[in-house]
Amino acid sequence: MPQNEILQLQDNEDENGDYLFPEIEDDVFEETMSSAIAEIMANHSDEQELVEKSTVPLQLGFPPIPDIATLEYYDWVDEVISKAGLVFEGNQPPGTKTIGRSAELRLYSTLQDAVQSFLETLDGTESQQEVVDAVREVIARWSEVNIPLMNRTFEELFKRGLLAGVVAVGQRLDIGDEKVLELLRESELKIGSRIVLFSEDIANRYQKVVERNFGPTEEYNLPAMVRQLNDVAPARRFELERIARTEVGQTSGIGRFWAWAKEPEDLYFYQYNWNSTPDTRRRKMKEIRQSWNPLTWDEAWFLWSHNKQMVDGKWQNGNINCRCTVSRTPVDDEYTGNRFAGRENMFERTLDVDMPWE
């Protein structure tokens, strides 16, 4: 049943908003999470793989996927893995929430420490350009130190997210899962690329603070500028937290597509739905995509792999911190077509590798 050729756009008066996640005050919990990375590195070996322990029927009753940007998403991954009977060979690594939250806390705490150490060296005699260059160098070093460690940690999280996505729709694991995971390891979904983008953004924010504090005569109030610079990282903490959770969520989403693609004869006997969280943080492009439901298989995968879209004459990039999911419902007749064919100039591909079903 071919789709209607008309794409409906909906107006959205809401501006994008952000919110801070609650701070964790439990020191014992934080200590547990801060040691998780070291435990992973000590116990991990290339031979350790998730292995299937049981068939995964849909009747297992997996919980609905929560908002990907919340801590509950980590719980969802662990519950799916547990209900599916999946186990890790060798020493059991920490839970998904512990691994993910530890990564978030490390990124934030090391950033704060690096900036604070730099601010303590200022004596008020520096020029504006000297301060700008120095703070950018601090952020660059922070990024260089954290990227290798975070990439290794996120390989563990990506594996869990991918396989949770596969088994949550009732599919068995097979050799192809490792192939998909390897593609993701080599793609720009790697957390390192997200850290680089974050580093560039926050360095620009630090620079704006410095420029705001310097007058035409190169004079500035050192205590006032230090206070303002100290406020930059806490105000962007939510970005680091969302990077960790939503990138694992993106991998889980690819796992769902991969699971569906394992039964190609059934792909066009479903209608697919783009799901987005209806709050003030939802981008207009995500509301537009939801208005296009139901989607065919080809349309759903096109949108997932092309998560940058022209809206009102401007590009919106939905690939970073994306909280969207795709679900499907069976239908009696084939549901085919692709309304986006020939309109590729409205979109930009954000997945830089080709999946096995493409």
Range of the domain at 355: 263-358
Residues facing residue 317 across a β-bridge: 308
* Lateral strand order in the sheet of 314-317: 314-317, 308-311, 347-348
In degrees, to the nearest 5, what angle opens at C-alpha 136 toward C-alphas 133 and 137? 85
Instruction: Identify whether residues 167 and 283 lie together within a single domain.
Output: no
Instruction: Identify whether residues 116 and 246 lie together within a single domain.
Output: yes
Residue 4 lies in a domain: no
Instruction: Identify whether residues 245 and 283 lie together within a single domain.
Output: no
d(CA 240, CA 201): 12
* CA count, 13 A, side-chain hemisphere, 150: 29
Instruction: Identify whether residues 173 and 321 lie together within a single domain.
Output: no
Residue 200 lies in a domain: yes
- Domains in the chain, number: 2
Instruction: Identify whether residues 226 and 336 lie together within a single domain.
Output: no
Residue 21 lies in a domain: no
Instruction: Identify whether residues 246 and 273 lie together within a single domain.
Output: no
Residue 12 lies in a domain: no
Instruction: Identify whether residues 107 and 245 lie together within a single domain.
Output: yes
Instruction: Identify whether residues 73 and 154 lie together within a single domain.
Output: yes
Instruction: Identify whether residues 181 and 286 lie together within a single domain.
Output: no
Residue 85 lies in a domain: yes
Residue 37 lies in a domain: yes
Whether pTM > 0.85 for this model: the answer is no
Q: Which of 226, 243, 262 is the last residue of a domain?
A: 262
d(CA 217, CA 195): 35
Residue 17 lies in a domain: no
pLDDT in tens, the chain (358 residues): 544 443 444 433 333 333 233 333 445 444 544 554 455 445 544 444 433 333 333 444 667 787 777 788 888 888 888 887 776 554 445 788 888 888 888 889 999 999 999 999 999 889 999 999 999 999 999 999 888 888 778 788 888 888 888 888 877 777 777 878 777 777 765 666 778 878 888 999 999 999 989 877 777 888 999 999 999 989 888 877 777 777 778 888 888 899 999 999 999 999 999 998 777 777 888 899 999 999 999 999 999 999 889 999 988 876 666 778 898 999 999 999 999 999 989 999 888 778 888 8
Size of the chain in residues = 358
Q: Which of 262, 287, 311 is the last residue of a domain?
A: 262
Instruction: Identify whether residues 273 and 215 lie together within a single domain.
Output: no
> Residues of 91-103 as b/e, b for ≥16 C-beta within 10 angstroms?
eebbbbbbbbbbb
Residue 55 lies in a domain: yes
Instruction: Identify whether residues 322 and 254 lie together within a single domain.
Output: no
d(CA 111, CA 46): 30
Residue of 254, 258, 251, 118 lying closest to 174 (CA atoms): 258
Instruction: Identify whether residues 268 and 231 lie together within a single domain.
Output: no
Q: Which of 202, 233, 262 is the last residue of a domain?
A: 262
d(CA 73, CA 68): 5
